[in-house]
Amino acid sequence: MSLSVAVAGASGYAGGEILRLLLGHPEFEIRTVTAHSNAGQKLGTVQPHLRSLTSLDLVETSPETLAGHDVVFLALPHGTSGAITAQLGDDTLIVDCGADHRLEVESDWSSFYGGDFHGAWAYGVPELPIPAVDRSDAAPAATEFLAKQRSRLVGARRIAAPGCNASTVALSLAPGIAAGVILPTDIVAVLAVGPSGAGKALKTNLLASEILGSANPYAVGGSHRHIPEIQQALRWAGAEAPTISFTPVLVPMSRGILATSTAVLAPGISTGMVRAAWESAYASEPFVELLPEGEFPRTADVLGANTALLGLAVDEAAGRVIVVAAVDNLVKGTAGAAIQSANIALGLPEITGLSTNGVAP
């Protein structure tokens, strides 16, 4: 029997991508799509690429319209999902693609977001480690994660899908932190990102005339809201007080993230030990792949796929480890991670409805 699904925020980029992926999922049946300003319109008016769903009506987003479904995916602006989810029963699996339930520390929420704090849910990046307090040994693993977020997602009824930039950087660095081959301070991450990560609302700085032919840094100097989420994930990997300089750069591609993260090589660590840490951490993962030595990913290689590709190098002269990661921000960064996590929570094969194959050219 198919599981009934509602998607809130279905008129946006993240909501549209959730719907696109759900159409290829054999166990989910899309029954309700909701919106705010676009409520009352046909879905096909705002998501014309979803041809098989064009006749669906967008209804108002409310606890009443979302209640009664087996699974609810929320693709709403931060600060809006917490009040809605509080009114939905525990019998519904809720996956929040917004920020409201990602952070464990209330002061982090207050500093970077503000407003009511709703607490953290199971984190929807199965490949990352769980906090040390939940592990049999609090010390960093020698070559692999002792346990992963996947174990927390099994049977979960409340899941927080990740911030796309945050999960990309965390997946890049967590193996090195957990294995003790890189230091958790003086981390630097510079990301080339597509504007779809900023949502569909009309903003002057996202107009084609503003971004075509240009690269534009934003949220410079430690102000980006994904920073505490990255630090949280690195603490789970074993870092006591991680520090990171994080600079995203808007580039003229509609979707994608290319994250270059560097960290100081720990004393006495060889190049072989570095590579072994990442190989061990992701060897059995269906959606995270370490490329062969000397190879580095492109965003074009993951377009439309629930795949994170990593390239790894050691700059011995600088004493730093470099990880280059490519993801599709709307798939592995958001919608794909949400569906992957929902599969785990429901006891379905993790890869159901998701592909590692991209679209080219």
Please identify every residue annotated as catalytic. Answer: 164
DSSP codes of every residue in 187-251: EEEEEEE-GGGG-SS--GGGSHHHHTT--EE-STTTT-TTHHHHHHHHHHTT-SS--EEEEEEE-
* Cα–Cα nearest to 78, from 120, 115, 32: 115
Could you tell me which residues come within 8 angstroms of residue 128 by beta carbon, excluding any fewer than 6 positions away? 145, 148, 149, 167, 170, 171, 174, 233, 236, 237
Token match 């890049």: residue? 172
Q: How far apart are CA 19 and CA 288, in angstroms?
A: 23
Distances (CA, A) of 329 to 138, 162, 222, 254: 32, 10, 21, 10
Question: In the structure encoding, which two tokens stand for residue 284, read together?
Answer: 């059995």
Distances (CA, A) of 113 to 26, 80, 127, 168, 197: 37, 12, 26, 20, 17
Residue 346's φ and ψ, nearest 5 degrees, are -90, 0
Torsion of CA 134, 140, 146, 147, to 10 degrees: 50
Contact between 78 and 144 under an 8 Å Cβ cutoff? The reply is no
Hey, which residues does 58 pair with through a beta bridge? Answer: 33
Contact between 127 and 288 under an 8 Å Cβ cutoff? The reply is yes
Residue 117's φ and ψ, nearest 5 degrees, are -100, 125
